[in-house]
Amino acid sequence: MPVKFPDFRPRRDTFPEKLWTRCPSCSEQLFNKALEKSLRVCPSCGHHFRVSSAERLAHLLDPGTFEERDPGLSSQDPLGFVDQKPYPDRLAAARLATGLTDAAVWGFGLIEDHRVAILVMDFGFMGGSMGAVVGEKVARAAEGALAARVPLVIVSASGGARMQEGTLALMQLAKTMAALERLRAAGVPYVSVMSDPTTGGVFASYAAMGDVNLAEPNALIGFAGARVGAGTIGQELPPGFQRAEFLFRHGFVDRVVARADLRRELAALLRYLAPGAAEAGRG
């Protein structure tokens, strides 16, 4: 009588989600603790996972140096906007999921002893969308950098302007650009880092306006979606035209920098652009 062997599920189907993560690029199963040690970059293919604002600050800043400003700013609902659910309900859900009041965090900190004003965006909060609070924090970060005479660093991760705030969200494009223009006129450096994704109104305003524009590998960067862009100009667009490497080859990005090298790259730029920031940090 033939021996009947039990049926087994494929091993990868048995991995608990809390312990393992599947890479969307190469399908490798990654142990979460090892993934965290690699700064959430796949060791097999180099795919850069999206990270929270807290993780980003921990990656970039000297330990224990971050001084957050304006943590209590929160969005209102001036339009009474309702789609599948009321806007206040969406805000409440995003706050519960992320522990943040909105999609951007800003303050002061040190990068290898260089004092900077830094703002990081969190895609986990409503797709990193820019409403009045995000625009206000960008403006305050620029104003803070100007007042302290220290460089500004912004790390973008956003799908664009927040539709639930309508024209009020679109007004943030002009507001943030005005603040950055005052910074530029005063000769205070601004370094922009574009992560995946940096699109829509955020790309069309402050994200692409750094004195130096950096991007993480394979980050999606652009204004409109590929189908919208192709329809607007009436022709096919080249493959990967909205990825960081394509933009670098065509001069829209100054350098593509892997996450593991980003802190060191920023420190080198700060030594060149603002050598006095190191003295401010040590002081």
* Burial label, 37 (beta-carbon count in 10 A; 0-12, 13-18, 19+): exposed
The average pLDDT across 163-167 equals 96
Q: What's this model's pTM, rounded to 2 decimal places?
A: 0.90
Averaged confidence pLDDT in the chain: 92
Q: Is residue 26 located within the same domain as residue 68?
A: no
Q: Is residue 4 located within the same domain as residue 144?
A: no
Q: Is residue 141 located within the same domain as residue 202?
A: yes
Q: Is residue 35 located within the same domain as residue 138?
A: no
Q: Is residue 10 located within the same domain as residue 96?
A: no
**Predicted pLDDT at 14:** 55
Q: Is residue 253 located within the same domain as residue 113?
A: yes
Dump pLDDT digits (tens) for 169-221.
Answer: 999 999 999 999 999 999 999 999 999 999 999 999 999 999 999 999 999 99
pLDDT at residue 40 greater than cutoff 60: yes
Instruction: Please tell me whether the peptide bond between 6 and the residue prior to it is cis, using omega within 30 degrees of 0.
Output: no
Q: Contact, 215 vs 256, CB < 8 A?
A: yes
* Domain harbouring 87, CATH code: 3.90.226.10
Q: Which domain holds residue 12?
A: 1-49
Q: Give the pLDDT band (50/70/90) at residue 142.
A: very high
User: Which of 13-17, 27-31, 63-67 is predicted with the least confidence, judged by mean pLDDT?
Assistant: 13-17
Q: Is residue 37 located within the same domain as residue 151?
A: no
Q: Is residue 123 located within the same domain as residue 225?
A: yes
Q: Is residue 197 located within the same domain as residue 265?
A: yes
In total, how many domains does the chain have?
2
DSSP output for 217-269 = TT-BEESS-HHHHHHHHTSPPPTTTTBHHHHHHTTS-SEE--HHHHHHHHHHH
Q: Is residue 107 located within the same domain as residue 211?
A: yes
Q: Is residue 19 located within the same domain as residue 131?
A: no
Q: What contacts 13, CB < 8 A, 6 or more positions away?
A: none
Q: Give the pLDDT band (50/70/90) at residue 126.
A: very high
Q: Give the pLDDT band (50/70/90) at residue 6.
A: low
Q: Is residue 61 located within the same domain as residue 139?
A: yes
Dump pLDDT digits (tens) for 84-107.
Answer: 999 999 999 999 999 999 999 999
**Predicted pLDDT at 256:** 98
- Cα–Cα dist 108/117, whole Å: 4
